[in-house]
Amino acid sequence: MLKNLAEYLDSIIERDPATKNRFEVILCYPCVHALFLHRISHYFYKKDFILIARMLSQLSRFLTGIEIHPGATIGKRLFIDHGMGVVIGETAEVGNDVTIYQEVTLGGTGKDVGKRHPTIGNNVVIASGAKILGPFKVGDNSKIGSGSVVLNEVPPNCTVVGVPGRVVIKDNVRITDKEKPTADLDQVKLPDPIAQELECLRKRILKLEEELIYKERSKNDEVI
């Protein structure tokens, strides 16, 4: 247990340059406290002590600002940076080495029964304010841009941005070790699909203007 705890703390230090040591992580990082309480509430939830489980999850929400339903399945080394406003639904599943920033929602789209929340693969980065809604999977090594609203399945090794979310990069993930991929935490240098479309239109307009000018000159030459 102590080995797993040390491994978890080191994984947070690796992903957060503001961290100085393990004691700071234990004492000052709300994700550590929220996940500790979630492990306990999840145990009671599995034993059908639903009320106790929900009370513990609400206590965790009050103390940390992170709301994780006791029914959610959380993998190893989840890092919730800052954490305020994060919501993880009842049937959500989160893989290993996932990084989540503030105000992220892993939610549903209605009052469906059964599986209604997303499944997050391994080594996924979900940037601040992103909303992933529905019972689909976000593939391993993918990255969800800030403020994106994802409503459909995301293949592995993809970058998603926009509202609704669209895949803009695929199979371009930096991996330094096949057994331990390095999380790409860059939330700034993401492509803008709207800007790309506007740039294509601009180039097309310039080309058409050049063709129009050429035709007008040719016509004037013929008249002369």
| 100 phi, psi to nearest 5 deg | -125, 135
My answer on whether 37 and 144 are in the same domain is yes
CB-count exposure of residue 107 (10 Å: 0-12, 13-18, 19+): middle
pLDDT of residue 187: 54
Verdict on whether the full-model pTM lies above 0.85: no
Number of domains the chain contains:
2
Strands 166-170 and 158-161: antiparallel
What is the span of the domain harbouring residue 130? 2-187
Q: What is the pLDDT along the chain (224 residues), one digit of tens a residue?
A: 777 888 888 888 888 888 888 899 999 999 999 999 999 999 999 999 999 999 999 999 999 999 999 999 999 999 999 889 999 999 999 999 999 999 999 998 877 778 999 999 999 999 999 999 999 999 999 999 888 999 999 999 888 888 888 888 777 544 344 444 455 555 555 566 666 677 788 888 888 888 888 888 777 766 65
CA gap 67, 81 in Å, rounded: 14
Picking from 132, 98, 95, the residue whose alpha carbon sits closest to that of residue 116 is 132
3-state secondary structure of 91: coil
Task: Look up residue 16 and give its DSSP letter.
Answer: -
My answer on whether 28 and 120 are in the same domain is yes
My answer on whether 162 and 201 are in the same domain is no
